[in-house]
Amino acid sequence: MTEKIEADARPEKRLFVSLITRDISLADAFLDLLDNSINAAIEPLASRLKTADDYQRLLADTKLSAKVKIDLTIGSTKIVVRDTAGGISADTAKRHVFRFGRDDDASAHESDRLSVYGIGLKRALFKCGNKIEIVSDHRDGGFELKENVRRWAAEKQEQWHFDITPRKPAKNDLGTRITITELHDDVVRRLDDGLFLPQLREKIASTYSYFIGRIVEISVNGKDVEKESFEIGENYTSEKFQSGKVSCNIAAGIASTKGEVFRDRTAGWFVFCNGRTVLYADKSQLTGWGAGAALPIFQPKHRPFLGTVFFVSTDTEALPWTTTKGSINEESAVWQEARRHMVKVGRVITGFLDGRYTEDSAGIAPSDLQSVSGTGMSVLTAAVARTRQFKPPKAARPKTVKIQYDANVADVHRIQNYLRRSSMSGSDVGRYTFDYFLKNEVGEDK
Ligand SMILES: Nc1ncnc2c1ncn2[C@@H]1O[C@H](COP(=O)(O)OP(=O)(O)OP(=O)(O)O)[C@@H](O)[C@H]1O
Ligand SMILES: [Mg+2]
């Protein structure tokens, strides 16, 4: 047998840096940093956040107040992300934080809820700029890092590593501060375009509506981000299923609105993984709209439709999110199963909304939609609540019925003569005799 020889398959740092940053938007890179801070903020609560019911209990806990602050300061020369969560210990930094890809030490990731792949932090840093500084204070001793990415990428050492300096154990002011300078030109251009910051704010508000005000407060350039919250009518329909380590609640109903306008912004499917929004008001084939036999193509008449899919798992890799967490991995088996339930539950509502445009239910006016959907409740509460069935309105009964029958002409004449009204029409005779019977035999009791 011919002897085997080794073919070089070493990764090239420069290519690696450009590859992992290519497919992520700048906004998603910021969200990656926020995901990490929120994941750290959840850590003390992680044992209370294992099932969908736990997520609901946390929602209902009015005593819970956000203890962790995350401040984003974004300028055209410097980006700073600072959080007051527990910080990163030097030991964790040494073993896990800078690995590209998560190791298989499950016990190290038990309390993770929004950390999945082991790539987000590095990708976000590389995406934004060349100079990186991290200072983290932890009760067991944190660490510091200063890195020049270009220089690091040019170094050809066999074992990739970053040099970190341990810091003393801290009692107060725990947390992590990440500073990025020498920002890349395209990043500077994007930050300066006037649109980016308001869009980022909006994205943060909708992505972390579950966490804002409960677990964290987030500010961008000194201004707090308000959570996005809206309501669904309590008459919704829902189902639950469990697939391996993932539990999933699916609900569909009618958005609750003040006035009669149903906004595009609240229409479609909202998909959450461990409370983090993954899809927002999705009306595409991804969530079944216009996908063959699934749901109809989304049209303006479906604007009242509001559906939620809430996935929960303590094994974050089992959830169907993509590595940027901004979409769904379509091939995932648990997503496929969710899709089947979404079609079933969703059709109850699309069927009802489509029915408003047929003769049978011409009685349901737009203003009646709110009374059909009932009192509004938080979308998030509906997303994890007990299962229910949508009750379509009972079709209004007609108030009149037409009576028609053949009468002998001679008999009609006899009635006309008796009443001395020969000009009476057949229908007048019918009406008269009906009223007479009603009054004298049945009695007019109302
Ligand atoms: N602000 C922070 N506070 C505490 N720990 C953090 C913070 N940022 C990062 N970490 C730690 O660094 C690890 C690596 O972060 P990174 O974002 O690269 O990967 P990940 O969060 O594990 O997975 P993903 O690719 O899904 O983001 C995290 O698992 C977490 O332990
Ligand atoms: Mg992360």
Instruction: For 237-273, write each residue's pLDDT tens digit.
Output: 999 999 999 999 999 999 988 766 788 888 999 999 9
> What integer pLDDT is reported at residue 382 of this predicted model?
84
Question: Residue 302 carries which side chain, given as an amino acid letter?
Answer: H
Say yes or no to pLDDT of 363 above 50: no
Average pLDDT on 39-44 reads 95
Say yes or no to pLDDT of 229 above 80: yes
CB 395 within 8 A of CB 361: yes
> What integer pLDDT is reported at residue 284 of this predicted model?
95
For the Cβ of 83 lying below 6 angstroms from any atom of ligand 1, the answer is: yes
> What integer pLDDT is reported at residue 221 of this predicted model?
97
Å from CA of 88 to ligand 1 middle: 9
CB 235 within 8 A of CB 369: no
Burial (CB < 10 A; 0-12, 13-18, 19+), residue 7, is exposed
Q: Tell me which residue has its CA closest to atom 19 in ligand 1.
A: 118
Return the SS3 of 373.
Answer: helix
Ligand positioned closest to the Cα atom of 319: 1
Å from CA of 388 to ligand 2 middle: 35
Say yes or no to pLDDT of 365 above 80: no
Q: What is the DSSP annotation of 15-76? A: HHHHHHHHTS-HHHHHHHHHHHHHHHHHGGGGGG-SSHHHHHHHHH-TT----EEEEEEE-S
Ligand positioned closest to the Cα atom of 103: 1
> What integer pLDDT is reported at residue 273 of this predicted model?
97
> What integer pLDDT is reported at residue 445 of this predicted model?
63
Say yes or no to pLDDT of 360 above 70: no
- Output the pTM of the full model: 0.86
**Average predicted confidence (pLDDT) for the chain:** 91
> What integer pLDDT is reported at residue 231 of this predicted model?
87
Ligand positioned closest to the Cα atom of 323: 1
Burial (CB < 10 A; 0-12, 13-18, 19+), residue 182, is middle
Of 108 and 294, which is predicted with more confidence?
Answer: 294
Which residues keep their CB under 5 angstroms from ion ligand 2? 35-36, 115, 120
Confidence category of residue 35, pLDDT binned at 50, 70, 90: very high
Closest CA to 220 of 241, 186, 197: 197
Q: The tokens 């690696």 sit on which residue?
A: 16
Of 34-43, 119-128, 367-376, the poorest mean pLDDT is in: 367-376
Average pLDDT on 56-79 reads 89
For the Cβ of 37 lying below 6 angstroms from any atom of ligand 1, the answer is: yes
> What integer pLDDT is reported at residue 444 of this predicted model?
64
For the Cβ of 274 lying below 6 angstroms from any atom of ligand 1, the answer is: no
Say yes or no to pLDDT of 364 above 60: no
Helix pair angle (409-419, 426-437), 10° resolution: 70
Å from CA of 151 to ligand 2 middle: 24
For the Cβ of 380 lying below 6 angstroms from any atom of ligand 1, the answer is: no
Burial (CB < 10 A; 0-12, 13-18, 19+), residue 320, is buried
Percent of the chain having pLDDT more than 70?
95
> What integer pLDDT is reported at residue 395 of this predicted model?
66
Q: How far apart are CA 42 and CA 297, in angstroms?
A: 39
Say yes or no to pLDDT of 207 above 70: yes
Atom of ligand 1 nearest to the CA of 178: 1
- Three-state SS across 138-172? CCCCCEEEEEEHHHHHHCCCCCCCCCEEECCCCCC
Atom of ligand 1 nearest to the CA of 112: 29
For the Cβ of 120 lying below 6 angstroms from any atom of ligand 1, the answer is: yes
Of 195 and 397, which is predicted with more confidence?
Answer: 195
CB 30 within 8 A of CB 187: no
